[in-house]
Structure 1
Amino acid sequence: MKKTVIAAAMLMLAPQAFAAPETYVADTEGMHASVNFKVNHLGYSWVAGRFNDFKSSFVFDEDDAANNSVEVTINTNSIDTNHAERDRHIRSDDFLNVKKFPQASFKSTSVTKDDDDGEYTVKGDLTLYGVTKPVEFEIEEVGAGKDPWGGYRRGFEGEMELKPADFGMNYDLGPAAATIYLEFHIEGVKQ
């Protein structure tokens, strides 16, 4: 009986086993991560595209979302809408002005988890066109697990709405195109 009490006391005094925060780097080389966008075209349809060159990393703590963070850096010259003339125009000073602003970036300032649906709210600073603004968007985990090469992967997806005019881009495409939707599909490899 005495040994059982001592063993129980030792277990209570032992540090709790919590998962440590894990660092991941987006698998952009394997094309398992993407930053896409869409913008309404004249109210009739959508123009969609992507940025072909970007880097992203994130920290994930399953036990405490306050330890989570994400960073993304985008090469703005890598914009691709599958239409060379349109891409040249978007790269010009009418829109992204890639010569003056070769990068766009996002760095989170906080991450919280919604216990009801398991989604995360990410807040942070988006720098676009040389202007930094606070933004907020929702992400959700797609899945996690071992890969066939002995590594471990974790994936998230989310969407952010932004108004180019808020960042100083004032080229008028009409009211239907006033909002751009950025879509993130990030599969990270645990480091």
Structure 2
Amino acid sequence: MKMNTLKGIALAGFMAVAPTAFAADYAVDTQGMHASVNFRISHLGYSWLKGRFNDFDGSFSYDAENPEASSVSMEIDTASLTTNHAERDKHIRSDDFLNVDEYPTATFQSTSFAPNADGTAVLTGDLTLHGVTNEVTVDVTKIGEGEDPWGGYRAGFSGTLEFQPADFGIEYNLGPASETVYLDIELEGVRK
């Protein structure tokens, strides 16, 4: 009788946590570089200056049946920035902007994921940049998920984050047309 009671308690305990067991953890595919962290900022209101961070890593958890439980964690090597212009890159890495010697990494850790009926979502989290942490929101679109040709399973998302450098202690004045940076993030992950 005791054995059946113990089995029943174990089964009940398993069923109580079973919904979380369906959540899948994904490693961001930086090895095959099916992910990217790009940025853009207006140049004096006349054009877009675009660049990217070459070195970053991260992971995310996603369950289509319970998307509210999704989470994302990212780390970016700020010195890996490139805009395809060596002198400009040197200036952006300097203490006028990112100060990569003192702040070599930027991080993002999500705190909530709010899905919309149309397949988009709002991801909220803490962005740490230039030694300052602020809560930010990312507009996210799920691109897709499924099996890949190599026997793995993948999921992909696209998101855009807007922020003002001044909110992160970056005070270099680029003029009123250049007060907002847009981070465009493409995350394809391989299920672990």
- Secondary structure of residue in 1 paired with 2:91: helix
More helix by share: 2
What per-residue deviation string (whole Å, max 9, x for no partner) do you get for residues 57-105 of structure 1?
A: 0000111122100011000000010011000000000000000000000
What per-residue deviation string (whole Å, max 9, x for no partner) do you get for residues 94-126 of structure 1?
A: 0000000000000000111112x1111111100
Cα drift, residue 159 of structure 1: 0.3
**TM-score with structure 1 length normalisation?**
0.89
2:42 partner amino acid: N
1:120 aligns with 2:121: yes
- Secondary structure of residue in 2 paired with 1:43: coil
Partner of residue 186, structure 2:
185
Counterparts in 2 of 1:35-184, with a 5 A limit? 35-115=37-117, 117-184=118-185
- Secondary structure of residue in 2 paired with 1:86: helix
Q: Distance in 1 between matches of 2:93 and 2:115?
A: 36
1:153 partner amino acid: R
Q: Distance in 2 between matches of 1:84 and 1:172?
A: 21
1:162 partner amino acid: F
- Secondary structure of residue in 2 paired with 1:46: strand
- Secondary structure of residue in 2 paired with 1:121: strand
Q: Distance in 2 between matches of 1:23 and 1:78?
A: 26
- Secondary structure of residue in 2 paired with 1:186: strand
2:47 partner amino acid: S
Percent identity, please: 55
Q: Distance in 1 between matches of 2:149 and 2:64?
A: 23
User: What's the C-alpha RMSD, in Å, of the aligned pairs?
Assistant: 1.4
1:127 partner amino acid: T
Cα drift, residue 148 of structure 1: 1.1
Cα drift, residue 42 of structure 1: 1.0
Q: Distance in 2 between matches of 1:40 and 1:24?
A: 33
- Secondary structure of residue in 1 paired with 2:92: helix
Q: Distance in 2 between matches of 1:77 and 1:175?
A: 26
Cα drift, residue 39 of structure 1: 0.3
Cα drift, residue 29 of structure 1: 1.6
Partner of residue 34, structure 1:
36
Q: Distance in 2 between matches of 1:34 and 1:137?
A: 15
2:51 partner amino acid: G
Partner of residue 23, structure 1:
25
1:60 partner amino acid: Y
Moved over 2 A (4+): 15-19
- Secondary structure of residue in 2 paired with 1:158: strand
Runs of 5+ unmatched residues, structure 2:
1-14
